[in-house]
Chains A and B, each alone.
Chain A
Amino acid sequence: MSDLVAILLAWALVIGGLGAYGLWTITRGKALAKLVPEDRQRWMTTETTNTETGKGESA
């Protein structure tokens, strides 16, 4: 492997790998958001329901 190929491969792996992971989180977030009511999409604004007692509790 030439030096140039090694450098390009290393840079492409890191930038491409982290970039692909970032894109995956964004697309997965969009897909999941369709299944969750808008008021429960963010942790600070969400009131979770205790499934045992049925009572609400702040997240």
Chain B
Amino acid sequence: MTPNPTSSSTTRNLGIVTILGLGLVVLLGGFLTEPDDLMGDLVRIMYVHVPAAIMTYTGFVVGAIASGFYLWKRSEFADLVAHAAIEIGVISGVLLILTGAIWGEPTWGTYWSWQDVRLVSTLVLVLLYVGYLAIRQLPVDHHVRARRSAVIAIASTIMIPIVRYSVTWWSNRTLHQEASLTDGKLEDLTLFTLMVAIVIGLVAFAWLTIHRFRVLWLEQQVDNVGLAGAIAERRAEASTGVEAAVTAPSANGDPS
């Protein structure tokens, strides 16, 4: 079996905790918790929807902090951590929007509403970071790309409090309920299950971020190896050319 270059004892432990924790969340959230008085069994979507939201916010906040560190220290490590965290934040954000739509249809009677400030602000937040990932694909100098994307990662965090408090600030323009975790209405086992699901989501986030960082590092090394190889080839060609130029006149007996 090929050894996994992105794996380590830390990631193996995180992976084991994620899988075991996921089993516990499925058991608690799928079978042991009671249905909600208002929403019935649909409340079980909360156990994946809320962790996806936390993973999204975490990805973007970690990305912004790492980007700030990059701008401060010009650390390649920080740049790649930002990329990894934001990519996972975007994936979680897409899953957040999709699970919200699936939950919205039977609860509100619609998958999506352009008038809903929480839904639209969440979409804008995710699209800003899709833009960040698009900037990272531009074929420009590595440092220029890292600097531009770091600025975007930091500037885009302005949307996070807007998304978070949109349901409070514009409560008449949203179908979305206020934060479930802080309103004190959740029953004990429901709250416990949600907390476990959030912790497992964060462990999964850490596991994925480390793996993705290592893959990004490998991608950069492949580029460097390719570039170093090309430079060595050109140098070899150049020195062969010089040797040929030096030896050629004496070979034909016509020095110039």
Are A29 and B218 neighbours in the complex by a CB distance under 8 Å? yes
Whether B22 is near chain A, meaning CB under 8 Å from some CB there, is yes
Q: Give the chain A neighbours of B98 by CB distance below 8 A.
A: 10, 13
Q: List CB contacts (< 8 Å) of A1-59 with chain B.
A: 1, 3-4, 6-7, 9-11, 13-15, 17-18, 21-22, 25-26, 28-30, 32-33, 35-37, 40-43, 46, 48-49, 51, 54, 59
Are B218 and A14 neighbours in the complex by a CB distance under 8 Å? no
* A28, closest chain B residue (CB): B215
Binary contact track B194-227/A, C-beta < 8 Å → 1, others 0 = 0000000000100110011111011101101101
Most-contacted residue by chain B among A11, A30, A46 (CB, 10 A): A11
Binary contact track B84-123/A, C-beta < 8 Å → 1, others 0 = 0000100110110011001101100000000000000000
Are A15 and B215 neighbours in the complex by a CB distance under 8 Å? no
* A21, closest chain B residue (CB): B91
Are A10 and B6 neighbours in the complex by a CB distance under 8 Å? no
Q: Give the residue of A25, A28, A32, A51 whose beta carbon is less than 8 angstroms from that of B231.
A: A51
* A34, closest chain B residue (CB): B2
- The DSSP consensus for interface residues of chain B is helix
Most-contacted residue by chain A among B91, B217, B219, B227 (CB, 10 A): B217
Are B215 and A29 neighbours in the complex by a CB distance under 8 Å? yes
Binary contact track B36-48/A, C-beta < 8 Å → 1, others 0 = 0000111011001
Whether B83 is near chain A, meaning CB under 8 Å from some CB there, is no
Give CA–CA (A35, B218) in the complex, Å.
9
Q: Give the chain A neighbours of B51 by CB distance below 8 A.
A: 14
Q: What is the CB-to-nearest-CB distance from B99 to chain A, in angstroms, rounded to a whole number? A: 4
Are A29 and B5 neighbours in the complex by a CB distance under 8 Å? yes
Q: What is the CB-to-nearest-CB distance from A52 to chain B, in angstroms, rounded to a whole number? A: 10
Give CA–CA (A6, B111) in the complex, Å.
12
Whether B228 is near chain A, meaning CB under 8 Å from some CB there, is yes
The verdict on A43 contacting B77 (CB below 8 Å), with A25-B211, A29-B5 known, is yes
Whether B52 is near chain A, meaning CB under 8 Å from some CB there, is yes
Q: How many chain B residues have a CB neighbour from A under 8 Å?
A: 49
The verdict on A46 contacting B22 (CB below 8 Å), with A26-B4, A30-B2 known, is no
Q: What is the CB-to-nearest-CB distance from A7 to chain B, in angstroms, rounded to a whole number? A: 5
Are A25 and B6 neighbours in the complex by a CB distance under 8 Å? yes
Are A3 and B106 neighbours in the complex by a CB distance under 8 Å? yes
Are A22 and B211 neighbours in the complex by a CB distance under 8 Å? yes
Q: Give the chain A neighbours of B221 by CB distance below 8 A.
A: 32, 36, 40-41, 46
Are B106 and A18 neighbours in the complex by a CB distance under 8 Å? no
Q: Give the chain A neighbours of B77 by CB distance below 8 A.
A: 43, 59
Give CA–CA (A2, B101) in the complex, Å.
14
Given contacts A6-B106, A10-B103, A21-B91, 13 further A-B contacts (CB under 8 A): A6-B103, A7-B42, A11-B48, A18-B204, A22-B211, A25-B6, A25-B212, A29-B211, A32-B219, A32-B222, A35-B225, A42-B214, A46-B217
